[in-house]
Amino acid sequence: MTKLEPEQQQEVWLKAVEQAQGKVPPARIVKNVVQQIMERTQVPNTYQLGEVCQILALDNPELRGKGGCWGIVNHVGEFSCTVRTWDGEHTVGLQYLKSFNYLPAECEQMRVICDRINRVYSSGLEESVQRFLESLGKLKRAYLTDLEGKVLNLLEFEYKKRSPSH
């Protein structure tokens, strides 16, 4: 309840007492009423498909290890987005996302980089190589340096050599 404005807290209590037929409401009822009000007052999801966002792990244990990673929005829900990162897809609540506000061309560039990293990462190369790919997944810019690009090209070449079906 403390996350709500004082007048909303009052509204929660009145509704909860009403639902408990005039008695002191159990925590379950209060929690449900708080959730309804939070959903009603939540800001609409303005993220777009293809947008590049940063994941903010904050206090969310499900996002441990993902804080600071960037991802490409590939599904926009009412209260969350699914983003594709260097290691797969993650559904993330809106409060755990921050847009990089990249231009469309930069977003497309990042999508291509993400696909390249993900393809090599999922091939199961050495742990040190996976750590390098993970570090690319935390870049705060919309491009790879010349050297980063060359290293990724080499890893892609190795990946193709190891899996002839690709």
The answer to whether the predicted template modeling score (pTM) of the entire model surpasses 0.85 is: no
Burial of residue 19 (number of CB atoms within 10 Å: 0-12, 13-18, 19+): middle
Q: What string of pLDDT tens digits covers the 166 residues of the chain?
A: 666 777 888 888 999 999 999 999 998 888 888 777 776 766 678 999 999 999 998 878 888 889 999 999 999 988 889 999 999 999 998 889 999 999 999 999 999 999 999 999 988 888 999 999 999 999 999 999 999 999 999 999 988 888 766 5
Q: What is the CA radius of gyration of the chain?
A: 22
pLDDT per position as a tens digit, 56-68: 988 788 888 899 9
